[in-house]
Amino acid sequence: MIAAAMNKTFIPCLLVAAAIVLATLPGPADAGAIELREFSSEVEERRFRSLTEELRCTVCQNESLAESDAPLARDLRRQIHHQLQAGRSDSEIRDYMVERYGDFVLYRPPFAAHTMILWFGPVILLLAGLVAVVFAIRRRRKILENS
């Protein structure tokens, strides 16, 4: 009786769970892939992908240009595609974006005076932690020796 009732509710539950899992699986991460674009070479296509992945969409700030479906992201992808076709280099395209939207568009912050804390912060914290651990061990050793 109980087993049968469990079976009755268990199977629909399983189906719902499976549906939820399927729905939340990441779909094609690259919104740009839906747009049809012609690339003159595979290298150009790869450059397009890597550029749109490292540039941030400024309207939807936690998405890259490659992921975002915002109209502005679409415009920016088109702009990057144009510039690639016009033969501009990756760094020229990156500079073009930074000139207009600031360092903020770069997911990888530039190495500059005002970003030092970003680059060295983790290392400093790690060193501070190591120093603290060394002190703690020494102290404990002293306590053990004394007792």
Partner 1 sequence: MNMLRLGIPLLIFAGLVALLVIGLQTAEDRTRVASPLVGRMAPEFTLPKLYEPETEWSTRELEGQPWLLNVWGSWCYACREEHPWMQRLEQESGIPLVGFNWKDERDDALGWLDRFGDAWTLHVRDFEGDAAIDWGVYGAPETFLVDANGIIRHKIIGPLDEEIFYDLMDRIETVREEHQS
- Residues within the interface to partner 1 (CB under 8 A): 58-59, 61, 71-72, 75-76, 79, 98-102, 104
Least distance in Å: CB of 42 to partner 1?
27
Give the residue with the Cβ less far from partner 1, 42 or 99: 99
Give the residue with the Cβ less far from partner 1, 20 or 128: 128
Token readout for 49 is: 């992908």
E strands along the chain, which residues?
none
Please enumerate in sequence order all residues whose Cβ is within 8 A of that of 123, keeping only pairs 6 or more positions apart, or say none.
none
Token readout for 46 is: 């790869």
Token readout for 116 is: 């030092």
Give the residue with the Cβ less far from partner 1, 38 or 99: 99
Burial zone of 57 (CB within 10 Å; 0-12 exposed, 13-18 middle, 19+ buried) = buried
Least distance in Å: CB of 79 to partner 1?
5
Least distance in Å: CB of 39 to partner 1?
20
